[in-house]
């Protein structure tokens, strides 16, 4: 799995993580992690309207910036 995050303020300094999924959580097992992230980033509970999955990634490469 590869994940690339770019700041609106500085699109030339992406944060990149590459690795492999070592665990996949679904249903009741996933919601505590989703709720923790929702509390941190949106300050409210996440909607239960649709099912969600959590992928736990073991990072093999991490890089910030280009080059």
User: What pLDDT was estimated at residue 40?
Assistant: 95
Residue-range definition of the domain harbouring residue 22:
2-64
pLDDT band at 17; cut points 50, 70, 90: very high
pTM for the structure as a whole? 0.66
Could you tell me which residue, 29 or 64, shows the higher pLDDT?
Answer: 29
Is the pLDDT at 67 greater than 80? The verdict is no
Q: How many domains does the chain have?
A: 1
Q: What is the mean pLDDT of the chain?
A: 91
Backbone CA torsion sign across 6, 53, 17, 35: positive
Q: How far is Cα 16 from Cα 62, in angstroms, rounded to an integer? A: 6
């Amino acid at each position: 799995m590869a994940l690339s995050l770019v700041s609106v303020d500085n699109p030339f300094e992406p944060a990149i993580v590459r690795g492999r999924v070592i665990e996949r959580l679904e249903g009741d097992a996933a919601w505590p992690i989703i709720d923790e992230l929702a509390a941190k980033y949106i300050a409210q509970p996440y909607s239960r309207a649709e099912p969600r999955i959590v992928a736990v990634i073991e990072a093999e490469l991490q890089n910030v910036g280009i080059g």
